[in-house]
Amino acid sequence: MTTWMFQCNPKRYDLLAAAEKGFSDQWSMNQHREAVAVGDRIYFFISGPAAGIYVVAQVVSPVYESKEPDEFGKYKVDVEYTAFIDPYVPRSILTDAATEPILAAYVPFKGQQQTNFLLPPDVAARLDALSATRLRPISKKPWQGADVSLYAVDTAIKAHEKQVRAQLLAALKDLDPFVLQDVIGRLFGKIGYEDWAVTKMGGDMGIDVTATLRVGGVTEVPTVIQVKRFTSRNVDGAVVRELRGALASGQHGVIVTTSGFTKDAVTEAKAAAKTPIALVDGNDLVDLMVRNGFGVHTRPVPLFTLNLEDLVAGGGPDA
């Protein structure tokens, strides 16, 4: 668990009033967005004449980009206020080198302007010790904080999906190359290509699968696909040039690999005045499979959320 200090200007936001309500809140995450995680602890520092540490909170969401950016920034994180520090820890203590040398050596306590500070472990530990006897838990009604469980579920689902994607890619890399070609043919059939077929095992000029994409009953795009089952090295530009040389007039070329592509391959595939070649790397391949339910099962997860409006009196035969 990481510990943070978030800074609040009381002229711009009444943090103490918000915390008193006990609900989750939204805060800007302008610095260190890659480091924050659900479950991290936050100490809130309120600036001004009575500056100091007043509130403890917990991170309850991943960082996200707000659909309605405000003056505080577009990147947000949701927090749940957990306790007041009562009495608060004033800046005079935080900057007293004689009694608190560890805290006093930490420059942000002296007035550095920034929204989010990643606290060093020794500073975090000293704040924990200093505030341990001052914590006054923020009382919640039983239904408050329900969003926290939603974020926990969302985080767990994302972690599980990441694991399944990694397992799927590993399974693809472990397939026999000719079996993988059949898999790619069936996948392209799943996403809308017709008449797909795996070519014979010799003299195919780098062509492993052929298929036809018919668009709106008007246009036909004959497509040839080369499949590269690589476990470590990436596909280079020579492979792109080889496939392009095997294309007949009007054919579209695709290279699918379980690994990645070198910079030369990407440049060659998009080269001006040459027939473009579409590139599908291992992550793209897994995305295609997951989006089309190929190689994975989708299982619905029942999740109840509160609807307290049903508890409000009104209507019915006795109303």
pLDDT tens digits along 251-273: 999 999 999 999 999 999 999 98
Rounded CA separation 94/53 (Å):
9
Return the number of other C-beta atoms located less than 10 Å from residue 53's C-beta: 23
Return the number of other C-beta atoms located less than 10 Å from residue 142's C-beta: 6
Backbone angles phi, psi at 275, to 5 degrees: -60, 120
SS3 161: helix
Return the number of other C-beta atoms located less than 10 Å from residue 220's C-beta: 13
If you average pLDDT over every residue of the chain, what do you get?
A: 88
Residue 149 has pLDDT above 70, yes or no: no
Task: Encode burial over 163-177: b for 16+ CB neighbours within 10 A, e otherwise.
Answer: eebeebbeebbeeee
Residue 223 contacts residue 247 (beta carbons within 8 Å): no
SS3 102: helix
Cα–Cα distances (Å) from 74 to 12, 66, 69, in that order, read 17, 5, 4
Residue 142 has pLDDT above 60, yes or no: no
Q: What global pTM score does this model have?
A: 0.56
Rounded CA separation 3/120 (Å):
8
Return the number of other C-beta atoms located less than 10 Å from residue 270's C-beta: 12
Rounded CA separation 60/152 (Å):
8
Q: How many residues does the chain have?
A: 319
Q: Higher-confidence residue: 113 or 273? A: 273
Rounded CA separation 249/284 (Å):
27
Res 22: pLDDT: 73
Residue 207 has pLDDT above 60, yes or no: yes
Q: In sequence order, which residues have a C-beta less than 8 Å from that of residue 295 and are 6 or more positions away? A: 168, 171, 183, 289
Q: Higher-confidence residue: 308 or 245? A: 245
* All structural domains of the chain: 3-144 (3.10.590.10), 171-291 (3.40.1350.10)
pLDDT tens digits along 150-186: 666 676 677 788 889 999 999 999 999 999 999 999 9
Q: Give alpha helix (H) positions in 42-145.
A: 91-94, 101-104, 121-131
Res 64: pLDDT: 87
Residue 22 contacts residue 81 (beta carbons within 8 Å): yes
Rounded CA separation 127/220 (Å):
68
